[in-house]
Structure 1
């Protein structure tokens, strides 16, 4: 007798970005923040003037603190505003009321670790409540500070000194205030105004935000993110406002950056996609529902759901790379020696400047009568609708010095439409593991790849190893912190710093072959990684590329990007003059090529506006397809073996080996 077990079918619906963007400023947060502070102020005044019974003032103040936790919570996920400082400002004020014992930054770190390790007994600070035996639950509800402070102490060496000092100062200040009130006979007043309301609020918060969403769920966030927390449905007319939407806590864990008041809308847009992944759902009375039971329940309640179409990044519609004047929208300092340049692409050019993650643009301008052309990776997400590059200053560099010192919003630069193929094809239904190893400004293309991948492939995970001198020289440091908060359970960032004596000893130094060798033997095993991205100095990338291949990585799964190739001297030996037919932007041209010239050189000599940037075989801007004859490429850092096999070459590195060659830039 034999038995067979039906294998679960793959989900039929992609789980896209839920369409709930972080606003410039969250008006609901502003409203509940203002209302809560007003209530707390009035209740404090009432307590000090005996205008209300003690119980009434305690309940009012506890309600205000409970509401302020949602402000703190959204600020920790940078959901209050697209401006980082706004989130920090709201978070710091709210933290002072919710718990003055730790800093906002410390709370944010602890809370993100909860997201990353939900239901993991050893690493989830909230498991103190959600995993507690029932008979201990009431006591633990009121003691949530204990696991948080203990967790912070265990990880104190991982945290910045300023954050640790701020938390220490708050602990000391809290103690001083309590002792001072006790010595002056005002301890009961402090208790009525704050200490008792804060404990009441903490009890309810632990119950509603930690225990109700997570208790009795065995899967961790890493094992099954759809069953590490639950939605609680039913009586939503009262439950949703009462819990400030945390009855849809599963949506929050899947998409931490969604503002609290948009959880329900996100669920309804993606409902079938969630259900196909066996999302954990319970009713208001604690009954657990599987997908079919939930559908039945929903039909009884007359609710309907909609699906949001997936936003996939598109390649430029331009047939061949072409220069266009584009206005600079912003120039923002990233570090002391780098700037972020944002562009205002005209609507009529938007399709031509569409890009896939990992692509780059060439920038051209006139500096002192000299035509200066440089190539820069696009660092913005391909789903964001924005175009941005980052420029790191090179001593003596013409364009980087101009960008740092003179470029201003409103100026115009000539931009070439996006080219390059550093990224990889994305699939909304994929569940993959990505690892990027970068150094310095090598972060720019990977930042676009990372953001886009996590937004499109909602089941995939990404590890970024990022080498820099120190924290101050780290480009996009704040943005990476935001992304780690947004994708807490799917993004891990490992900072390696060569000149920071306070950095953990095992992460001090350079990103080099011995260090990667150690990681490959531990938690970055080649067999567990689907795609690798390497970007940085030539020597580093070359060493790591070779190491990965030695460990069994498939060559087409290791993607390499170099900002500079090797400039080579002109050669003539072994080459003969040739005739080159060129297809460029729909027009046909025939040019004569001198012995030793490259295809690109012959095109430029003939006055053709052929695309190019680095001239060193590193950027791929000049990519074209050989459709007749053959060429020899001297070096290639931009095209994968599969692309070369299809007939594509880098004209800046290609010399004809047949009397006649036909090259198509529009292919």
Structure 2
């Protein structure tokens, strides 16, 4: 090696070469491949048309075609490893088309043979066809990069007797065709047009491919694939927010060599799932600037690199621009079944309202709709990530639930619902530089806000850990089961999900029954008081019992966040409250009304036709939150506001009885 690196103590040969399970499988069809394949062909077709018509400068068409060929190589690459589809013929079809654009001098089957030989003999002299680039002196690289297909042809000629006759014939036919087209173009005066369309873009793309796919991963590494598969190629870490999409994940080239059948877009997930195991085997890693790292250095680099996250683009979600909850007609984009009795409803928010419907993880939507001539108002938590740009809720049918039955059985894409802008404060602020431990306890449809919080936290706080205890009767009744499995796979090193089932006799005994603190303590690795934030959402008895039990175990109350979809029944004892004059500020206008003894602030507003926001009427959702500016009130119960919000003067108007002759509340604060 040209750079000195301190290595971890060598492992025994067997364990050194023991390969961790990637956890990834070949899909029936790789839709990302379909996407980039279609996009690349579209770009190439458009640039060809532009070159033929002279509508743009030749430099533009060359650049566009080069980019298209570069992307098509990833299609060819995945096809050669049969990772595009579990159906073999699909890979061959994609590979043949992509090969024609990347280098029409050899057949797809010939390329696949040569490339697999590279995997078998990485860094092993002439046995590795890519050694032509990876071992070249630096001053020869500008010449060797664009000529990368020449050693492939030479390698094929040396091994021609090993290849099937049909494959050799196909390669010979392609070579003949390519040369014929070039000669014909030269004789007809169209050589420059052909050069602009494909000859020059092909060389430009080949230059970049040889540089990024061969030289960057392999140069200066002496171990061969047979000697040490973990040090025959490398991962290149740093600036991954741009390198991973730019290199189409080939900055994780080590993962590709360890698990060649993984689709390119799953390299990062495989690395994160098995990072500790790969580091234990002294895998080759370098930074984006070429500094070689051993396992200890990589861990320290990763720790320090987290502190630089603020310098990189971070998709921090912004809150709604609405000063208070306001209602708008919003069309339904889709209604997807989750379980036999629940659906995911996604909304198509118009562009002019997108700022109004921005949300923080853990917030909710209030829906108004007329069903059978009767207005129904229901509150549902948002289930999508706050960074996704998608607005969706999960609805589970409950016995006697008018809207939930309508949503599950009747609601369709294109229908329009009256949606209130997002409200609620269940979720807590996030920090890209934070390293926290979160635990969530949810049951049934209580997963919806937890799912939003969990997704957003994993995306933004890349060093934080999350554990979810999710209770359901059966697997079939588990909402968002597929999404939870995907999240756990994606963030396997930081996310743990325990599915607790109360109605499945065959479910493992440790995860059977109903969630309580004893079960959480038994399954959780951490001490209860070491958890930075607790999120509780579900039936009132589960949530309030867990809150009380955690408090009794010395967990600070400010770390416990809870959400109920409906609060306990309101007290009927409202004696002792005076009549009062209430001034309500809403949408910039002041309304002064008389409030009868025993009424809440919200009740007085609604009786006077003031369209104040509300949903659950039980002090659980926070939709009716306002700031008190004059006088004082007494809240029957508060299951939505934090202690800090109460200290700042916020109240739940559905629970607030004036205790002074005059009171003023501001919904716009």
TM-score by length of 2: 0.61
Alignment of 1:121-520 (within 5 A): 210-212=230-232, 231=237, 244-247=250-253, 259=265, 281=286, 287-288=292-293, 308-519=312-523
Give 1:491 deviation, angstroms.
0.8
Give 1:644 deviation, angstroms.
1.0
Contact 2:248-2:265 within 8 A present in 1 as well: no
Which of residues 573, 595, 599 in structure 2 aligns to 1:593? 595
Contact 1:22-1:258 within 8 A present in 2 as well: no
Q: Could you give the per-residue CA deviations for residues 386-409 of structure 1, whole angstroms, max 9, x where no partner exists? A: 100000001121000100111000
| Aligned CA distance change for structure 1 residues 58 and 373 (closer, same or farther; 3 Å) | closer
Contact 2:33-2:75 within 8 A present in 1 as well: no
Aligned equivalents of 1:622, 1:479: Cα separation in 2: 31
Match of 2:274 in 1: none
Aligned equivalents of 1:467, 1:569: Cα separation in 2: 30
Give 1:487 deviation, angstroms.
1.1
Give 1:30 deviation, angstroms.
4.9
Aligned equivalents of 1:516, 1:262: Cα separation in 2: 31
| Aligned CA distance change for structure 1 residues 553 and 205 (closer, same or farther; 3 Å) | farther
Contact 1:450-1:462 within 8 A present in 2 as well: yes
Contact 1:422-1:560 within 8 A present in 2 as well: yes
Contact 2:617-2:654 within 8 A present in 1 as well: yes
Match of 2:195 in 1: none
| Aligned CA distance change for structure 1 residues 286 and 205 (closer, same or farther; 3 Å) | farther
Give 1:558 deviation, angstroms.
0.5
Give 1:640 deviation, angstroms.
1.4
Which of residues 604, 607, 628 in structure 1 aligns to 2:609? 607
Give 1:357 deviation, angstroms.
0.3
Contact 2:578-2:596 within 8 A present in 1 as well: yes
User: Which structure's CA Rg is the greater one?
Assistant: 2
Give 1:518 deviation, angstroms.
2.9
Q: Could you give the per-residue CA deviations for residues 403-425 of structure 1, whole angstroms, max 9, x where no partner exists? A: 01110000000000000000001
Higher RCO, 1 vs 2 (CA within 8 Å, ≥6 residues apart) = 1
Contact 2:622-2:641 within 8 A present in 1 as well: yes
Contact 2:582-2:594 within 8 A present in 1 as well: yes
SS in 2 for 1:259: helix
Contact 1:40-1:61 within 8 A present in 2 as well: no
Give 1:542 deviation, angstroms.
1.2
| Aligned CA distance change for structure 1 residues 207 and 485 (closer, same or farther; 3 Å) | farther
Match of 1:645 in 2: 647
Alignment of 1:13-92 (within 5 A): 25-27=35-37, 30-34=75-79
Give 1:247 deviation, angstroms.
3.3
SS in 1 for 2:634: strand
Give 1:525 deviation, angstroms.
1.2
Give 1:262 deviation, angstroms.
9.9
Aligned equivalents of 1:462, 1:338: Cα separation in 2: 25
Contact 1:581-1:661 within 8 A present in 2 as well: yes
Match of 1:624 in 2: 626
Match of 1:157 in 2: none
Give 1:550 deviation, angstroms.
1.5
Which of residues 562, 565, 575 in structure 2 aligns to 1:563? 565
SS in 2 for 1:539: helix
Aligned Cα root-mean-square deviation (Å): 4.2
Give 1:207 deviation, angstroms.
7.6
Aligned equivalents of 2:433, 2:531: Cα separation in 1: 17
| Aligned CA distance change for structure 1 residues 257 and 372 (closer, same or farther; 3 Å) | farther
SS in 1 for 2:252: coil
Contact 1:22-1:257 within 8 A present in 2 as well: no
Aligned equivalents of 1:382, 1:329: Cα separation in 2: 18
SS in 2 for 1:652: coil
- Work out whether 1:578 is the aligned partner of 2:580: yes
Match of 2:538 in 1: 536
Aligned equivalents of 2:264, 2:630: Cα separation in 1: 53
Q: What runs of 5+ residues in structure 1 fail to find an aligned partner?
A: 1-20, 43-55, 70-97, 99-188, 194-202, 215-228, 234-239, 264-278, 295-304
| Aligned CA distance change for structure 1 residues 371 and 440 (closer, same or farther; 3 Å) | same
Give 1:641 deviation, angstroms.
1.7
SS in 1 for 2:549: helix
Give 1:552 deviation, angstroms.
1.6
Q: What runs of 5+ residues in structure 2 fail to find an aligned partner?
A: 1-30, 38-71, 82-87, 94-106, 121-162, 168-222, 240-245, 270-283, 302-308
Give 1:447 deviation, angstroms.
0.4
Q: Could you give the per-residue CA deviations for residues 67-90 of structure 1, whole angstroms, max 9, x where no partner exists? A: 9x9xxxxxxxxxxxxxxxxxxxxx
Aligned equivalents of 1:377, 1:258: Cα separation in 2: 35
Q: Could you give the per-residue CA deviations for residues 172-228 of structure 1, whole angstroms, max 9, x where no partner exists? A: xxxxxxxxxxxxxxxxx9xxx9xxxxxxxxx998988755578xxxxxxxxxxxxxx
